[in-house]
Amino acid sequence: MSRIGKKVINVPAKTKVEVKGQTITATGALGTLSYTCPADVTINFKDNVLSFAIPEGKEKELNAIHGTTRANVFNIVEGVTNGFTKVLEINGLGYRASVAGTKLNLELGFSHPVNMDIPQGLTVTVDGKSGAVSIKGSDKFLVGDFAAKIRRIRPPEPYKGSGIKYQGEHIVRKAGKTAAGGK
């Protein structure tokens, strides 16, 4: 059996969870999210505790889906309760970001600014001093996906370290030609 799948999910008092068939709907302070579980996974919800089980004899085939189901349901409960945040740091001469309505405007050394539509359900803010872009939302996949799309525009390069990186991400730096002993 999956070790992650065996863990129970304690639902906070502020969050309401509803189970209808194989669909779990969580409603909290930050909105409503739902997840449809696979047919082979049994859902048990009692006294604000969610647990999942798979039929005996099928552990080998269903082990991965057992843990994945539990992790996805935990993420929707956590999302509507506390939400998720990703912070991106923009490093580089003249690199900056700004938010105008539902668009994120990025100036990243290209001949043109890059404008991105902010997906529904996400809040994007830009810190005035550091220029860090903060992405907040209740859907973990949507927050991570939008952050990855922004980072993909100008990933950090290894020589100067300029580009967009996640907060706390370590970029392996390379020595330039002069430091490497070139003539």
The label of the residue with tokens 């070790």 reads: 3
User: Which tokens hold the place of 153?
Assistant: 């525009």
User: Which tokens hold the place of 106?
Assistant: 């990025």
The pLDDT tens digits of the residues spanning 55-77 come to: 888 777 888 899 999 999 999 99
pLDDT at 1: 60
Strands 96-100 and 103-107: antiparallel
pLDDT at 163: 94
Partners of 164 in the beta sheet?
90
Contact present, 125 and 132 (Cβ < 8 Å): no
pLDDT at 182: 55
Residues in the chain predicted with pLDDT less than 50, given as ranges, are none
